[in-house]
Structures are given as structure tokens and as C-alpha cells.
């Protein structure tokens, strides 16, 4: 485990860099800060570090980057009473974009991710990866907005609201793919076809993908099928060269995922999202038959954004009803940006779950967004387990859970625009154990607290 010296030094440097920007940010921004789980482009703030550097560079070379510091505190780990951990996460990104004429762009991004104070030794790759190549791609475009485009190299893949495929920006090391992507865009639609392999994070060695662990896809967006809305349709094929099925037989896996998504507005005050997914294929000698569903509705009852906008949400993902029947029913959530999709604590993933959520969003100030949520979790199948946001098995009762109620969770979080390019995030989540959690683990409640500061330059 590395000391906190590097993180503290970088944080002090961040404070020195952002102080001038904060001092000059006298006018409120038009919209609130984005949530920390979403990666956003660098701001157009002329006082930013990137603007100062770019003023000395030729127009065809652009510099940018980001520094993020976050402190997290957790308790009740794995349901064990009096287990606590507090640690500091530091992430630095440096970007270079080369505009090689009207039709060619080259992008390179390096990233350094560090953690200090984490209980595990060595630090897990989701938290720590000393400076490595995160992105390096070249793109050929027919035009700036419409027409054909081809991008090849190490890159992000983000589709829909990233429930199945995303860059996982909340985590310290995030996710990229070694990929080739062909795209076509016009006023009516956008279509992406890609072949890829996810990059495996390993500290102190160059990150690379695993041969045979491939991911292919076709994703289409239709912009004018529904008024004020968008319809998406997609197909993904995920391969794994070596898996162990429910009867302990080795083999390879082919998972086919088909789905559709509808999202948009109904009138001026209602936002909605619906997504339905089906899966088939083989997992060694086992057949795959799985499904998932997401539904969300948000209503603006008042014109005043400072007042709460209530929302309701339901998520379902199938589980395996019988671990001995030769059929795999557990939904594979693929490569999602899973943070806060099923609770702020990230104790629940999109696998073997029923989730009900009630919440509200409000903007008490032009620079402040506040979210409050209450979630209730139930296992879809009693003989399958509970999986976390990373898709990892957390707990399972092999003979079948006598009660499928997992837990309830209360979350509150806020994002504050301190200055152009500078955001502050704070959040708290509490886990109220249900009967399954009490039976399958030692049964303790969980708490999660974080605070973060991000400077995008």
C-alpha cells in the first residue's frame, strides 16, 4: 500500500490551480454540475490551465485533463459488525488531441490512479494503477457531424444510459476497450458497429486485453420515431475463452444480448425511460436464457427547480431458479457504468434482482443539485445469489433463501459547481438489512460516505 504523500501533494497542487478560477467565477452557470459518475468534456473557461497551455500551442493541438480527489468511508463490510475502512482516491488524466486536417483526429490520454489508506494489500486494480495509457485512438470522419466515421484504438464505449456498456467513470481506474468502431450519422439516426476487447487493469505493468475475451456489437439510435424521444435498438455478442459452469465443467462462453430502449419527454415536465433486454447463448455446457427490464418516470410538479421533482423506478434482472437444471438464468450485466444504478452503496448489481426506487431531485441554487432516494431490494430467485454493482457474488444460500427480501437503502447526495470546471460532490448511503441479508451474512447494516473534488482543465 502506497503512502498518502503522493495524493496529498497532488491535492495541494489542485488547490493552487483552481483558486484563481474560483475567484473569477462570479456569475452562476446555466446548469448544475454533472454527477461524478459521468465524464464530461473540458470547460471553455479561458482561465483554465488547459486554456493557458493551448494559447501557446498551434491550433491543431489541444491539451486538456482532469484531476479528481475523493475520500470514501465504509462500514459494515460484508455484513460484519464494526468493520470500517476509510481511504483517499486520487486520479490524474492528461489529454492531447491532434486535429490532422478536417477529417482526421488523433487522441492520447494518460491516467494515474492512486489510493491511500485502503485496508487491502495489495491495493485492488479498481483503485490503483500507476500511470498508464488509458486512451489512444485515431478517427477518420467524413464530416464534423453527419456521415461516416471510423475510430480504431484504445477508446471508451458508451451506449444508452450505460446500463450495459459504459466507461465506469466513478471508479478510480475506469474502463476502456481496445476497439474498432464504424459509425454512420444523419438527422434521423446514428448506427455504431464495433469489435472490441475490454482492457484489463494491472498495476505496474502495461494494461492490455485478454485474447479470446471479445465483445462485438451493433447499436442504433432513432431520433424522430417518437416526439421528444429517442428509440434505441441493439445486439451484443460477448465471448469468454474459459468459464466454469454450474456442474464444474470447463468450456467457453458465448452470450448474445438483444434489447431496446425508449427515453424522452412527455410534455414539458415528464421524463421517462424504458429498457427491455433478453439474453441467450451457451456457458460451457449450459444454455443461457436470461432477461432484464428497467423503467423510470420523473415528474416536474412545479416550475420552480428548487422544489423537488419526484421520480419512481423499477429494475429487474433474472436469476437462476435451479442451479442443477443445465440452464443458466442469471442475467449478465456485461460492462456497465453501474454506480448508483441500484443504490449509492453499490451493493446491488443488475443480476437476480427486483429493485423499487422512490426519489426526488431539486436545485436549491443554480450551482447546486440535491438528490434523495429510497430503494427496496428483493432477490428474483431464492436459489441464486446477491451480486454487487461489479457483478460479483456477495452472498448466496445454496438451499434457497427462506426470504428473498435483501435490504432497503436510503441515499442523499449533492453536486456543487464551485467554479467553471470545478465540482464538489458529497454523499451518504445507509443500508437497512432485510431477512436475506441477515441469513446469508453476519447481518450488520452498512454505511457509505464520500466527498470529492474534481478539476477539469
Q: Which domains does the chain have, with CATH numbers?
A: 5-456 (2.40.160.100)
Rounded-to-integer distance, Cα 419 and Cα 37, Å:
19
User: What pLDDT score was predicted for residue 46?
Assistant: 58
pLDDT, position 7: 52
As a whole number of angstroms, the longest Cα–Cα distance in the chain is 67
pLDDT at 78: 86
- Report pLDDT for 49: 82
Segments of the chain scoring below 50 in pLDDT: 1-6, 8-44
Q: Would you list the DSSP string of 359-374?
A: EEEEEEETTEEEEEEE
Closest CA to 264 of 222, 309, 306, 314: 222
Set of cell numbers at residue 24: 473569477
Instruction: For CA atoms 377, 383, 388, 390, give the dihedral sign.
Output: negative
What pLDDT does residue 13 have?
A: 46
> What are the strands, taking DSSP E only, across 300-352?
309-317, 327-328
Secondary structure, 3-state, 383-432:
CCCEECCCCCEEECCCCCCCCCEEEEEEEEEEEEEEECCEEEEEEEEEEE
Q: Phi and psi for 37 in degrees, rounded to 5?
A: -80, -10
285-307 burial, b if ≥16 CB within 10 A, otherwise e?
A: ebebebbbbbebebebeeeebee
Those residues whose C-beta lies under 8 Å from the C-beta of residue 1, and which sit 6 or more positions away, are 115, 116, 117, 118, 120, 121, 122, 123
Cα–Cα distance between 401 and 436 in angstroms, integer?
A: 6
Q: What is the pTM of this model?
A: 0.88
What is residue 47's predicted lDDT score, i.e. its pLDDT?
67
DSSP 307: S
Strand pairing partners for 447?
A: 75, 430
The SS3 call for residue 55 is coil
Q: Which of 268, 269, 263 is nearest to 309 (CA)?
A: 269
Residues for the chain: how many in total? 457
- Phi and psi angles of residue 6, each rounded to the nearest 5 degrees, phi first: -65, -45
Amino acid at each position: 500500500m502506497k503512502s498518502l504523500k503522493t495524493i496529498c501533494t497532488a491535492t495541494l497542487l489542485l488547490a493552487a490551480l483552481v483558486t484563481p478560477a474560483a475567484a473569477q467565477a462570479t456569475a452562476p452557470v446555466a446548469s448544475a454540475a454533472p454527477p461524478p459518475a459521468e465524464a464530461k468534456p473540458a470547460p471553455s473557461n479561458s482561465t483554465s490551465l488547459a486554456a493557458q497551455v493551448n494559447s501557446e500551442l498551434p491550433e491543431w493541438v489541444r491539451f486538456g485533463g482532469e484531476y479528481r480527489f475523493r475520500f470514501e468511508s465504509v462500514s459494515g463490510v460484508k455484513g460484519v459488525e464494526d468493520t470500517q475502512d476509510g481511504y483517499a482516491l486520487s486520479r490524474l488524466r492528461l489529454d492531447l488531441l491532434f486535429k490532422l486536417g478536417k477529417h482526421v483526429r488523433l487522441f492520447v490520454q494518460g491516467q494515474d490512479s492512486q489510493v491511500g489508506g485502503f485496508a487491502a494489500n495489495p491495493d485492488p486494480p479498481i483503485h490503483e494503477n500507476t500511470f498508464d495509457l488509458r486512451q489512444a485512438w485515431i478517427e477518420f470522419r467524413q464530416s464534423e457531424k453527419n456521415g461516416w466515421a471510423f475510430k480504431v484504438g484504445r477508446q471508451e464505449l458508451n451506449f444508452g444510459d450505460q446500463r450495459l456498456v459504459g466507461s465506469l467513470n466513478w471508479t478510480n481506474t475506469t474502463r476502456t476497450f481496445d476497439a474498432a468502431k464504424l459509425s454512420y450519422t444523419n438527422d434521423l439516426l446514428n448506427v455504431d458497429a464495433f469489435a472490441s476487447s475490454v482492457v484489463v487493469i494491472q498495476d505496474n505493468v502495461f494494461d492490455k486485453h485478454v485474447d479470446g475475451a471479445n465483445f462485438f456489437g451493433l447499436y442504433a439510435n432513432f431520433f424522430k420515431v417518437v416526439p421528444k424521444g429517442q428509440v434505441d435498438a441493439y445486439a451484443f455478442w460477448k465471448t469468454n475463452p474459459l468459464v466454469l459452469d454450474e456442474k464444474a465443467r470447463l468450456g467457453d462462453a458465448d452470450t448474445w444480448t438483444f434489447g431496446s430502449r425508449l427515453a424522452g419527454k412527455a410534455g414539458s415536465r415528464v421524463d421517462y425511460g424504458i429498457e427491455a433486454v433478453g439474453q441467450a447463448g451457451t456457458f460451457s455446457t449450459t444454455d443461457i436464457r436470461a432477461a432484464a427490464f428497467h423503467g423510470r418516470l420523473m415528474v416536474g410538479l412545479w416550475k420552480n427547480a428548487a422544489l423537488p421533482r419526484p421520480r419512481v423506478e423499477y429494475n429487474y434482472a433474472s436469476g437462476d431458479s435451479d442451479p442443477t437444471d443445465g440452464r443458466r438464468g442469471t442475467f449478465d450485466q456485461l460492462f456497465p457504468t453501474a454506480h448508483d444504478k441500484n443504490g449509492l452503496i453499490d451493493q446491488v448489481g443488475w443480476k437476480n434482482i427486483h429493485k423499487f426506487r422512490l426519489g426526488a431531485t431539486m436545485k436549491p441554487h443554480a450551482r447546486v443539485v440535491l438528490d434523495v432516494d429510497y430503494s427496496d431490494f428483493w432477490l428474483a430467485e431464492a436459489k441464486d445469489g446477491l451480486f454487487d454493482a461489479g457483478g460479483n457474488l456477495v452472498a448466496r444460500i445454496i438451499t434457497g433463501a427462506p426470504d428473498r427480501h435483501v435490504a432497503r437503502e436510503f441515499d442523499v447526495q449533492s453536486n456543487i459547481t464551485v467554479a467553471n470546471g470545478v465540482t464538489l460532490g458529497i454523499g451518504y448511503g445507509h443500508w437497512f438489512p432485510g431477512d436475506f441479508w441477515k441469513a446469508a451474512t453476519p447481518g450488520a447494516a452498512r454505511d457509505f460516505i464520500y466527498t470529492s473534488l474534481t478539476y477539469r482543465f
